[in-house]
Structures are given as structure tokens and as C-alpha cells.
Amino acid sequence: MARWLGLAWAIEGRQALAFQGNRDVLRMLLSIGNIVLSLILGAVLLALVGVHSPETLSSLLRWSHSVKEIITGTSLDPKYNVWIEFLLDDRQLVFMFFVVLARIVLWLVALPFFMIRNRLT
């Protein structure tokens, strides 16, 4: 009987470890899904602003150009500044703005669900 109880305890322990492993995988998949969803939602927001308010998108592009000039106009060493000028584009800054905006919207949508889950546990 004691041997059977020990075996049952070992199986329960493995199941608990498996459940913890499944929870970690689920958290990782949800995090990746959140990033992908925010990228897609940011692109949709960018397209919507471009279609419905092109002057706003044009002003955002001008703003991003001035931000790029501020960033690259600092007294950085030229060996670093050339890479910033090469890799940083005006359109990327505007897209990053919309992705950050999408992540804030996703956070605001998910916040009540997390608060309800925390109250239940």
C-alpha cells in the first residue's frame, strides 16, 4: 500500500511539473501573440490614418523626420551616427509610434480581465 501511495505521489508530482511547464509555454505563446497582434494592429491603425486622414499621416511623417534629425544631429561619434542614419527611417518611426499605440490599447483592453482574474484567485 505504501508503495502504491509513493507511486501515486510521484505521478501527481510529474503532473504538477507538466502543468507548470504547460503554463510557461502558454505564457510564452501569449506574449508572442501579443507582439504579433500589436504589429498587425499598428499596421491597420497606420493604414486607417493614411486613408481617412492623409494630412495627419503627412504631419506625422514630417514630425518623424525632425525627430530623426534631432537623434542624428547629436554629437555622437560618426562611427555610431552613420549606423543610426542608415537604420533609422522616418517611416519606421511612424510605424513604431502606431505599434506602441496599439500595445497601449491592447493593455487597456486586457487590464479588466487581469483584474478580474486576480480577484478570483
**Over the stretch 40-96, which tens digit does the pLDDT of each residue have?**
999 999 999 999 999 999 999 999 999 988 888 888 888 888 888 888 899 999 999
Q: Is residue 116 part of a domain?
A: yes
Q: Is 93 part of any domain? A: yes
pLDDT band of 109, cuts 50, 70, 90: very high
* Residue 4 falls inside a structural domain: no
Residue 78 counted as domain residue: yes
How far from 48 is each of 36, 55, 63, 94, 97, CA to CA, in Å?
18, 12, 19, 13, 14
What's the domain range around 103?
29-120
The predicted pLDDT at position 76 comes to 83
What is the number of structural domains in the chain?
1
Q: Is residue 47 part of a domain?
A: yes
Residue 21 maps to a domain: no
What is the grid cell recorded at 83? 549606423
pLDDT category at 102 given cuts 50, 70, 90 is: very high
What is residue 77's predicted lDDT score, i.e. its pLDDT? Answer: 86
Q: Is residue 46 part of a domain?
A: yes
| Cβ-Cβ contacts under 8 Å for 78 (sequence gap 6 or more) | none
Please write the tens of the pLDDT for every residue from 23-33.
888 888 888 99
CA–CA gap between residue 45 and residue 53 (Å, rounded): 11
